[in-house]
A and B are shown apart, each in its own frame.
Chain A
Amino acid sequence: MPIENSKVPISLRLKNLSKCYSEAGRKIEILDNVNAELNQGDVVALIGKSGCGKTTLLNLISGIDRADSGEIWIGNTLLNNLSEEELTLIRRNRVGIVFQFFNLIPTLSVIENVSLPRELNGSQGANVSSNAKELLIRVGLGDRLNSYPDVLSGGEQQRVAIARALINDPDLILADEPTGNLDDDTAKEILELLLSVARDRGKTMIVATHSSEIINFADKLYTIHSGNLIPGQSGS
């Protein structure tokens, strides 16, 4: 493990981050010189219109995508110079991702889905499954351990996804429209769950959303507008 795992107060730092896409021969400056600094335990709401660059920003942070310029620091690790393989390991160990469409593996049971990132790390056995079980009980699915995703409701699937995001005890949780595919009541439950697990464990969490619900709970608020990350300001 080449990455130093020590916890530092500054959890995430974005420095002069820029990203542009070419679309139909035209360059679109989707993120333009973005700067931000998050402390350990910050819960951040990232809002903005659809297509404004929320997902792009999250993908850059998780190392799924690379920035054109600027720096991304997770703790004291600079992502820019890391290889694909190293980025994967960062993602696996220090970032937990919750998707809008849950993205569970259909051929794995609930507990296996949760254990997967841990097993990808090479750990196996009772320890892994007890951790997974613990997490699933925490998200309220202690009785569905051996079910398969296709028999779960959307809310239940997202709970599994939250448990999966936590299994490697990451520093950072990225949730991309985690409630976008759920009805209002369920959305609320899931959001509450996300916030409570993040706060319980003192995780830094960025929730990208276009719903205003989260604003009331977040420590910080960022709005992406025309490629700029504007602190505190809600678009609506």
Chain B
Amino acid sequence: MNYPLLHVSIGYIKKHLLQSILLLIGIAFSVALIVSVDIANQSASRSFSLSKEILSTKSTHHILGTYSDFDEEIYKSLKLKLGLKNLAPIVEDYVNIAELDGRAVKLLGTDFFADLIFHDGQNSPLSNLTQNTLTELIAKPGAALVSSDIAQSAGIKIGETLNVTYGSETLSIEIIGVLDSQNDELSKSLGGLLLTDISTAQELLGKVGLLSQIDLVIDEETPEGLSALQSIRDYLPAGVEVKSKDLLLGSAKSLTRSFELNLTALSLLALFVGVFLIYNIVSFSVIQRRSIIGTLRSIGATRRQIFKMIMAEALAIGFIGSLIGIAGGVLLGRSIVGLVTRSINDLYFTLTVSNFSVSPETIIKGLLAGILAALFAALVPAYEASSFRPINILRRSSFESFFLKSIKLFGLIGVIVIALGYVLIILPTKSLVLSLISVFLILFGASLLVPISTTLLMKLFSLILSPMGLIGRMSPRNIIRSASRTAVAIASLTVAISVILSVSIMIGSFRSTVVNWLDSTLTADIFISMDSPNISSQAGLNPKILDEVINTSGVDRVATVRRISYNSPGYGLFNLVAVTKALATENREFIWKEMDNEQLWDQMQHNSILISESFAYRNNIEPGPAKTIELQTDQGLKEFDVSGVYYDYGAQTGVLLISDDLYRSLWQDDKITSLGVYVSNIDHIDKTVRELRTKLSKYSNLVIRSNDNLKQSAIKTFDRTFTVTSALRILIAIVAFISVLSSLMALQLEREREFGVFRAIGMTVSQLRGMIFLENGLIGLASGLFSIPLGVALSLILIYVINLRSFGWTLNFSIEPRYFIEAIGIALIASIAAGIYPAYLIGKEDVGKLIREE
């Protein structure tokens, strides 16, 4: 852009600072959302890999048990018999720090002399330790190093004892040092960690003779590496596997991918709304300057120069807005990271490291998103500006009439785009990305339908309002007349409100489904479980507790649950849950079952298992007879019949339900994850709870809760999972609000002259204000009305397509009138709020000046 035109731009921006600020805020908000969600997603997966890389950044492979720890002899044999080097044995599990609100941390023990760790000198977190500490760490029972984040938040000092809970035990750990690293990358991975010698970890966790994991370095690129890998595979007993770290990370990422993808989609929606906002403001800036632009054109500025001028402004504002957005996104990201990490902890696996890292890619993404959105949105207004001919500059209406002529075409394209979106949904695929694309297509198509729908609706309003007289008739017509902008404002508001509405319906449906499910599943009167259980932990309750509970007065019968985390080659990560009869079939809601409950339970004593819907979905098991599942047990590989598929909204990883007897006969495990107690007299529940509490007070980390209590806490966890979604929903609403505010404000402000005429021919200020609010109200109402069918359609997609594809859950669609009231309410508030400033100005403006223009 040449120098004089630059002056024109700067002069304009200076004069209309409010517009520019709103534009900046709009872009900044959209970019901030994208950046913060990207940070949250990246940080979450970074947290996962970091928590796997605590000690050895070099390791390429892990040897893991399919569902449990394995014999330490395997390590010895790999070293002594296979002569392997670059190994490190690891014993670990998650423990909770009661003082820190039950925060889950990893207790990890390893052999510091294992060559993989010993020689990983530069990266070792041990490099800052004194020799005394090291000696103590190895030789002193119960000694551990604590990561600095724990030390800080628990306020624990060297030499003090930290009590952590593991299952129903309390472990006393002597803190002999704090882990710290000069290495920035490494110090990030050192969060949420209690590091001990391998012997200490075995003793504390009751895993003497067992290992949780062996880390190793194998170069799969070389023939030696491949043959080593093969020899390991040949050697390892069934149920123990060697897996590449990338593969493990990949499978963990694929689990959380859906979750993260959904968040990304929400953040893109914000950008989508942001584009409308930019369009509105840029096109307003063009209209405001039509006489300047006309003058420029008539004194020789080319169309190209005008186009470039408008695009350059968009670029500049887009750039600055993106920068602000990136800064804001980083700030926002901090809180979102916490929420995302928490959700992952609730839904997928325990993360002890809450990493917060901002990658350059995130910054670039945010910058590109902001700038491209600004440039894209400015295209049409810039074209409009460049096509002003000096002669009909004064006729904004020529563009409006062009727009009005095109609305049918827009509508047609909209219908086609929606149809395309619909086709994508009904395609027989499980692709989440496709379904998200179709959501965008439908939103885009619906936006294209907005102009024609607005025209029709406003004509209708004009009829309905005609008893109000000319103002009533005029307002809808005014909206049609400026359709190129009112329709865009309505579209952006419609999109935003429909997203908010659909997310509300989805969460509401989800919640009511979960509540129903809890009601039917949680049948016992009292539940005894570990406080703050970790989804990935194998810890359990002391089996002695069972006897004590049974022998408590008022207890009729007791059901047990044992849950272990499984990672099998065939079925990925899932939970194996062993239950006794009361919890197995009685109140379960089945998608399909082979026989009646009584027979089912009989079969489950022998060879049958039940699977959850998400397990079936993820493993492509069609509910129906003659399906089997092969599982590694302590008795070797066993084949089980799938005798039923049931609804489950617990852990997202999928559940395989087995009878307790069958489980105990095939697995050597006597631990219990939780107990369900049925009382003989329901009126004495509180008394029984008290009695159990007294009786079991010698065990730590136990929670004894009544049915209601447990349900409440389950629902609390559920609500927590959707905190992020709800938060993003509000942020989208903010972007939409700014968008509507700026566009409607611009629309009214540019009618100054018209208002002057109204005033001159005798319209009072309050009449004029009434008209402004009426028009804005109609716009809000239109958006609210349009958003209802669109929002419901989107919620159907969310519930029946996206949720199913993301989580393998079928939800019952449930709708409440308040969602619609909310939707229309938000739309009305936003649009009417947008009228406040213009209405205020009306009273201030000098009518003579208004009409003297031109």
> A contacts B directly in the complex (CB < 8 Å)?
yes
| A contact residues vs B (CB 8 Å cutoff) | 55-56, 59, 62, 64-65, 84-85, 88-89, 91-93, 97, 99, 101, 103, 105-108, 112, 115-117, 119-121, 124, 150, 164, 168
Task: Across the interface, name the chain A residue whose C-beta is closest to B469.
Answer: A119
The verdict on A116 contacting B760 (CB below 8 Å), with A85-B765, A105-B754 known, is: no
How far, in whole Å, are A124 and B765 apart by their CA atoms in the complex? 20
Chain B residues, CB < 8 A from A117? 761-762
The verdict on A103 contacting B469 (CB below 8 Å), with A88-B763, A108-B474, A150-B397 known, is: no
What are 28 A-B residue pairs whose CB atoms fall within 8 Å in the complex? Answer: A64-B760, A64-B847, A85-B764, A88-B759, A88-B762, A88-B763, A89-B762, A89-B764, A91-B762, A92-B763, A101-B854, A103-B757, A103-B760, A103-B761, A105-B474, A105-B757, A106-B481, A107-B481, A108-B470, A112-B470, A112-B473, A116-B470, A117-B761, A119-B471, A120-B763, A121-B762, A164-B761, A168-B762
Contact yes or no, B469 A84, CB < 8 A: no
Contact yes or no, A65 B848, CB < 8 A: yes
The smallest C-beta distance from A79 to any residue of chain B, in angstroms, reads 14
Chain A residues, CB < 8 A from B433? none
Contact of B767 among A64, A93, A115, A120 (CB under 8 A): A120
Chain A residues, CB < 8 A from B397? 106, 150
Since A89-B764, A103-B757, A119-B471 are in contact, a sample of 6 more A-B pairs with Cβ atoms closer than 8 Å, ordered by chain A residue number, is: A55-B848, A62-B760, A88-B763, A97-B760, A101-B854, A119-B470
Chain B residues, CB < 8 A from A97? 760-761
The smallest C-beta distance from A125 to any residue of chain B, in angstroms, reads 9
Chain B residues, CB < 8 A from A84? 765
Chain B residues, CB < 8 A from A56? 848
Task: Across the interface, name the chain B residue whose C-beta is closest to A174.
Answer: B760
The smallest C-beta distance from A65 to any residue of chain B, in angstroms, reads 5
How far, in whole Å, are A92 and B760 apart by their CA atoms in the complex? 8
Contact yes or no, A116 B481, CB < 8 A: no
Chain A residues, CB < 8 A from B477? 107-108
Task: Across the interface, name the chain B residue whose C-beta is closest to A115.
Answer: B470
Determine whether B15 belongs to the interface, using a CB cutoff of 8 Å to chain A. Answer: no
Contact of A120 among B473, B762, B848, B851 (CB under 8 A): B762
Task: Across the interface, name the chain B residue whose C-beta is closest to A58.
Answer: B848
Contact yes or no, B473 A91, CB < 8 A: no
Name the 3 nearest CB pairs between A and B, nearest first: A92-B762, A107-B477, A103-B757
Chain B residues, CB < 8 A from A62? 760
Chain B binding surface, main DSSP class: helix
From A55, A108, A117, A120, residue with most partner B Cβ within 10 Å: A120
Task: Across the interface, name the chain A residue whose C-beta is closest to B479.
Answer: A107
Within 8 A of A (CB), among B471-491: 471, 473-474, 477-478, 480-481
Chain A binding surface, main DSSP class: helix
Chain A residues, CB < 8 A from B762? 88-89, 91-93, 117, 120-121, 168
Give the bracket for the number of chain B residues in contact with chain A: 20 to 34
Chain A residues, CB < 8 A from B851? 64, 99, 103
How far, in whole Å, are A91 and B848 apart by their CA atoms in the complex? 13
How far, in whole Å, are A117 and B760 apart by their CA atoms in the complex? 10
Chain B residues, CB < 8 A from A121? 762
Determine whether B818 belongs to the interface, using a CB cutoff of 8 Å to chain A. Answer: no
How far, in whole Å, are A92 and B763 apart by their CA atoms in the complex? 7
Contact of B761 among A59, A65, A92, A150 (CB under 8 A): A92
Within 8 A of A (CB), among B596-621: none
Task: Across the interface, name the chain A residue whose C-beta is closest to B762.
Answer: A92
How far, in whole Å, are A210 and B758 apart by their CA atoms in the complex? 26
Determine whether B81 belongs to the interface, using a CB cutoff of 8 Å to chain A. Answer: no
Determine whether B852 belongs to the interface, using a CB cutoff of 8 Å to chain A. Answer: yes
Chain B residues, CB < 8 A from A85? 764-765
How far, in whole Å, are A106 and B754 apart by their CA atoms in the complex? 9
The smallest C-beta distance from B770 to any residue of chain A, in angstroms, reads 11
How far, in whole Å, are A89 and B397 apart by their CA atoms in the complex? 31
Contact yes or no, A107 B478, CB < 8 A: yes
Contact yes or no, B474 A59, CB < 8 A: no
Chain B residues, CB < 8 A from A108? 470, 473-474, 477
Chain B residues, CB < 8 A from A115? 470
The smallest C-beta distance from B42 to any residue of chain A, in angstroms, reads 52
Chain B residues, CB < 8 A from A91? 760-762
Q: Mark B20-61, 1 if CB is under 8 A from A, else 0.
A: 000000000000000000000000000000000000000000
How far, in whole Å, are A140 and B819 apart by their CA atoms in the complex? 56
The smallest C-beta distance from A126 to any residue of chain B, in angstroms, reads 13
Contact yes or no, B759 A59, CB < 8 A: no
From A62, A88, A108, A124, residue with most partner B Cβ within 10 Å: A88
From B474, B757, B760, B854, residue with most partner A Cβ within 10 Å: B760
Q: Mark B758-782, 1 if CB is under 8 A from A, else 0.
A: 1111111101000000000000000
